[in-house]
Structure 1
Amino acid sequence: MTKVRTRKRVTKPRKIPRQPRSNLMVATILEAAMIILKKHGMGNFNTNAIAEKAGVSVGSLYQYFPSKDAILATLIRQIREEMLADMIASTERKDLGDFRSETRALIEATLQHHVKYADVITLLERAEDDLPMDDDIQEMKQKMLEIVIALLQRHGIENANIVANDIIAICHALSLSIPQSGESNFEELSRRMQRAVFGYIENSTP
């Protein structure tokens, strides 16, 4: 029986740009990839289309990205990095001092990314589930979880690990409903998410 060889899916960039010109090229490629995702979804998401949209040769694109999977994974990493940075910034704010205000700031730090990338977030979530993501993504997810756990522990919430996982799941589910509902009122979305989170916490603690 002939053994079927499966292609290994590569999700890391081939190399990291070092010069301003190459940094600009990579940024242009990623911007083009995002535009194609927004306009066409995965149907026309391939290296030829991305290179054409970016105004670069396919050969130039392949210098940095060995496949469309690597481009997708890089987009996912970038959004995760942005979200993590904003979550960390929210915990360092000096104008907050009570549980509700700190939780609200953390919710809004994550929610703004789902609103910003509402056109593509569902596609990227599915891609993340499908791709063999690297340790960088897992490390960022763990840091996000630890930020939520630390917030709960600071304010004496029992079973902080379990509660943190639950409220992350609640917020994730609500945020993924944004593209389907077409809702873009950030304040209203934030209020809905806060009601869900605070309601859960109040009903799960003694």
Structure 2
Amino acid sequence: MPEPLPDPHKRPRQARSVATFEAILEAAARILESLGFARFNTNDVAELAGVSIGSLYQYFPSKNALIVELIRRERTKLSNRIVEAIQQHDASDLKEKLKLVIHAAVQHQLSRPQLARTLEFASELIGRDIEESELQDELETIVSDLFVRSGISHAQTAAQDVIALSKGMINAAGIAGESDLNDLQQRVEKAVFGYLDLT
């Protein structure tokens, strides 16, 4: 059964605290990109962020809490990009909408590929959690609703399959170190359109 993720000690409200919180997160992201998960430590993060280790621990009680917040941040970015892609082009046909959704997912993975790979690895170690399940359910609902409106039969199953297919290909490309966004986009489109029998 998925577990809830640990929260930071406190969520900042004042502008200065928010800036510190974000600086710590960005420093953590850069260190994960350059050193990887195994050599990641909070002292390096604090130094790069320009804060004391005490200040870092005010927000994040452990390095896992810091990584979890980064995973959360990246998931939220991806979810927002996909929702925006669908909502901003409401009049587009299904193929155009799917192209935009695939583009959002591919761009997210390849914009910071090393970070995406490292967080994927860290997420496997930390374990599947409630938020990941909730995001999966949210994406399935969004895509399933899109399929229902477009007359795709067995919309829920089709949504699950299309998400699994896309996620598998995009994650595999990230792990393999691919950097050609257009090539990956075209391959995922070909697989998804073939599955849905969209010509």
Give the CA deviation at 1:80: 0.8
Q: Look up the match of 2:51.
A: 56
Distance, in Å, in 1 between the alignment partners of 2:168 and 2:112 is 15
Q: Look up the match of 1:161.
A: 156
How many aligned positions are there?
Answer: 195
Q: Look up the match of 1:113.
A: 108
Q: Look up the match of 1:170.
A: 165
Provide closer, same or farther for how the CA distance between residues 178 and 96 of structure 1 changes in structure 2, counting only shifts above 3 A. farther
Give the CA deviation at 1:93: 2.2
8 A Cα contact 1:73 1:133, kept in partner: no
Is 2:177 aligned against 1:187? no
8 A Cα contact 2:10 2:58, kept in partner: yes
The Cα offsets for residues 134-157 of structure 1, whole Å up to 9 and x where unpaired, read as 544432222111111111111111
1:21 to 16, 21, 46: 16
Amino acid at match of 2:195: Y
If the length of structure 1 is used for normalisation, what is the TM-score? 0.87
In structure 1, the residue corresponding to 2:88 is in which secondary structure?
Answer: coil
Is 2:77 aligned against 1:82? yes
8 A Cα contact 2:5 2:130, kept in partner: no
Q: In terms of mean alpha carbon deviation, does 46-55 or 190-199 score higher?
A: 46-55
8 A Cα contact 1:114 1:175, kept in partner: yes
Provide closer, same or farther for how the CA distance between residues 46 and 87 of structure 1 changes in structure 2, counting only shifts above 3 A. same
The Cα offsets for residues 36-91 of structure 1, whole Å up to 9 and x where unpaired, read as 11111012212122112212111100100011111111111111111111111111
Give the CA deviation at 1:29: 0.6
Distance, in Å, in 1 between the alignment partners of 2:176 and 2:104 is 21
Instruction: Output aligned runs, 1:94-113, within 5 Å.
Output: 94=89, 96-113=91-108
Give the CA deviation at 1:96: 4.1
Give the CA deviation at 1:176: 1.4
Distance, in Å, in 1 between the alignment partners of 2:131 and 2:44 is 28
Q: Look up the match of 2:136.
A: 141
* Greater C-alpha radius of gyration: 1
Is 2:38 aligned against 1:43? yes
Q: Look up the match of 2:6.
A: 11
Give the CA deviation at 1:10: 6.7
Provide closer, same or farther for how the CA distance between residues 72 and 107 of structure 1 changes in structure 2, counting only shifts above 3 A. same
In structure 2, the residue corresponding to 1:168 is in which secondary structure?
Answer: helix
Unpaired segments ≥5 residues, structure 2:
none
8 A Cα contact 1:11 1:133, kept in partner: no
Q: Look up the match of 1:125.
A: 120
Distance, in Å, in 2 between the alignment partners of 1:179 and 1:83 is 15
If the length of structure 2 is used for normalisation, what is the TM-score? 0.89
Distance, in Å, in 2 between the alignment partners of 1:79 and 1:141 is 14
In structure 2, the residue corresponding to 1:120 is in which secondary structure?
Answer: helix
In structure 2, the residue corresponding to 1:44 is in which secondary structure?
Answer: coil
Unpaired segments ≥5 residues, structure 1:
1-8
